[in-house]
């Protein structure tokens, strides 16, 4: 059995998505900036995609911008908003557990003279509203907090955060990295006081290399790419029509059964946790570990620490059984760095390098989950024979 449980890194494209992408490449291949029929056909695809996406977020179509993915969306939102609003203040707020696509732009802002406050989190990865309230000041121009943590699956109190920000300083812009949230949980920017929101297509069974940045029409932000004036001059360059069409197709399918799939993923997550917690030396990290905190847990992510065995060893040993998982964030998995998220939640030092992530999707089955848990047990038994003294 092949058991792919690394869906927070990337997801398999839906068959319908592959068909749409191929059709755009073979049939509706015109440049949407062209005035002839082929260009109009491509432009109509873009308009339809914006309509589909805007409906899921309950925002205006003119507030949807297409990017190359979540990293670009995060970079654009953070860097270009901070720079555009520098005259109003130089203070920015984020958390210690953000994705590198947020943390690295924050480091860049510090080099440019901005003051950045990094919020701490509790043992479940949740931001403290009290701490946030204390650090917001008149000079605060931007707050960027992720919707769902990509490593341990913590769901942040986004609606409460948005309300608090606007009460404390109505001029402060609120950005949410929703890469692991969109398509898994409902999120409505207007209602939640979100000014900008980042999405990545390949996390929701769409193509790689395509993403979304929702920008409220009230936000002051400078263009990302200058050129031919596409996307209202905010991000010039020929539009990625096949990617946009494929992502929109995936979004339409995913959101048609959002509640149903959420319940299915939650049941698979709980089943997996029940199975692996019977194994010796296993620790489940984040809010999914206990019933009383599970309401703060994303339905598709389980972080597991294994006492005494390095995550890289465990990952490759599971791979031999056709179980594919991740050692933390896939965006930094090729670098021997300790997870900032795991440090921020206070994980024991000896477990920091012994943690792997299992993440599920709409394709994941009960049989795969049980096979993965059983394989983990077999792998642990084998590896511990070689680590005993």
Question: Edge-to-edge strand order for the sheet containing 301-306?
Answer: 282-285, 301-306, 355-359
Q: 337 with 197, same domain?
A: no
**Same domain flag for 203 and 264:** no
Whole-angstrom distance, CA of residue 296 vs CA of residue 342: 17
Domain end point (choices 232, 255, 278): 255
Catalytic one of 3, 13, 24, 331: 331
Paired residues of 282 in beta bridges: 306
Residues 74 and 221 in one domain: yes
User: Residue 361: which residues within 8 A CB-CB, separation 6 or more?
Assistant: 7, 11, 12, 205, 265, 300
Q: For residues 243 and 266, state if they share a domain.
A: no
Query: Domain count of the chain?
Result: 2
pLDDT higher than threshold 60 for residue 336: no
The DSSP secondary structure of 146-163, one letter per residue, reads -SB-TTT-BBP-HHHHHH
pTM for this entry: 0.95
Taking the C-alpha atoms of residue 85 and residue 97, their distance in angstroms, rounded to an integer, is: 25
In a shared domain, residues 217 and 115 = yes
Return the pLDDT at 85. Answer: 98
328: pLDDT strictly greater than 90: no
The CATH number assigned to the domain holding 368 equals 3.90.1150.10
Tell which of 255, 288, 319 closes a domain: 255
Please check whether residues 293 and 308 belong to one and the same domain: yes
195 and 173 Cβ atoms separated by less than 8 Å = yes
Give 127-163 pLDDT, tens digit per residue: 999 999 999 999 999 999 999 999 999 999 999 999 9
- Across all residues in the chain, what is the average pLDDT? 95
The upper half-sphere exposure of residue 276, i.e. CA atoms within 13 Å in the direction of its Cβ, equals 29
- Comparing CA positions, the residue from 42, 50, 1, 4 lying closest to residue 24 is 42
Examine the domain organization and report whether 121 and 198 are in the same domain: yes
- Stretch 22-36: mean pLDDT, rounded? 97
Same domain flag for 46 and 122:
yes
Name the strand (E) or helix (H) holding 44.
Answer: helix 37-57
Domain shared by 26 and 62, yes or no: yes
Domain housing 328:
3-11+258-387
350 and 216 assigned to the same domain: no
Q: CA 43: distance to chain centroid?
A: 28
Same domain, 281 and 302: yes
Q: What is the pLDDT of residues 289-320, one digit of tens each?
A: 999 999 999 999 999 999 999 999 999 999 99
Q: Is 331 a catalytic residue?
A: yes
Same domain assignment for residues 134 and 265: no
The CATH number for 204's domain is: 3.40.640.10
Residue 65, pLDDT above cutoff 80: yes
Whole-number pLDDT of residue 19: 98
């Amino acid at each position: 059995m092949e058991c792919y449980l690394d869906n927070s890194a990337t997801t398999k494209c839906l068959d319908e998505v592959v068909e749409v992408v191929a059709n755009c490449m073979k049939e509706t291949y015109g440049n949407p900036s062209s005035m002839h029929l082929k260009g109009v056909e491509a432009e109509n695809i873009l308009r339809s995609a914006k309509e589909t996406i805007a409906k899921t977020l309950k925002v205006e179509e003119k507030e949807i911008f297409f990017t190359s993915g979540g990293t670009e969306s995060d970079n654009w939102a953070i860097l270009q908003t901070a720079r555009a609003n520098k005259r109003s203040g130089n203070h920015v707020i984020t958390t210690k557990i953000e994705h590198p696509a947020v943390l690295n732009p924050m480091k860049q802002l510090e080099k440019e003279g901005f003051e950045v406050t990094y919020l701490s989190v509790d043992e479940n990865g949740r931001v403290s509203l009290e701490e946030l309230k204390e650090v917001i000041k008149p000079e605060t121009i931007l707050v960027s907090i992720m919707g769902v943590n990509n490593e341990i699956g913590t769901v942040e109190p986004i609606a409460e955060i948005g309300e608090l920000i606007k009460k404390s300083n109505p001029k402060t812009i609120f950005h949410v990295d929703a890469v692991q949230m969109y398509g898994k949980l409902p999120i409505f920017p207007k209602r939640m006081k979100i000014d900008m929101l980042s999405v990545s297509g390949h996390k929701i069974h769409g193509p790689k290399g395509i993403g979304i940045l929702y920008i409220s029409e009230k936000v002051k932000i400078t263009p990302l790419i200058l050129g031919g004036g596409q996307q209202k001059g905010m991000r010039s360059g020929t539009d990625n029509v096949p990617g946009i069409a494929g992502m929109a197709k995936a979004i339409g399918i995913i959101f048609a059964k959002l509640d149903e799939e959420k319940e299915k993923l939650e049941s698979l997550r709980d089943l997996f946790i029940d199975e692996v917690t019977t194994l010796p030396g296993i620790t489940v990290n984040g809010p999914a570990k206990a019933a009383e905190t599970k309401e703060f847990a994303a339905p598709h992510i389980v972080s597991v620490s294994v006492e005494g065995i390095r995550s890289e060893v465990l990952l490759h040993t599971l791979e031999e059984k056709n179980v594919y998982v991740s050692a933390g964030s896939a965006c930094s998995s090729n670098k021997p760095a300790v997870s900032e998220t795991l440090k921020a939640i206070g994980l024991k030092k000896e477990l920091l390098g012994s943690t792997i992530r299992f993440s599920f999707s709409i394709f994941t089955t009960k049989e795969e989950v049980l096979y993965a848990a059983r394989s983990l047990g077999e792998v642990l038994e084998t590896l511990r024979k070689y680590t005993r003294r």
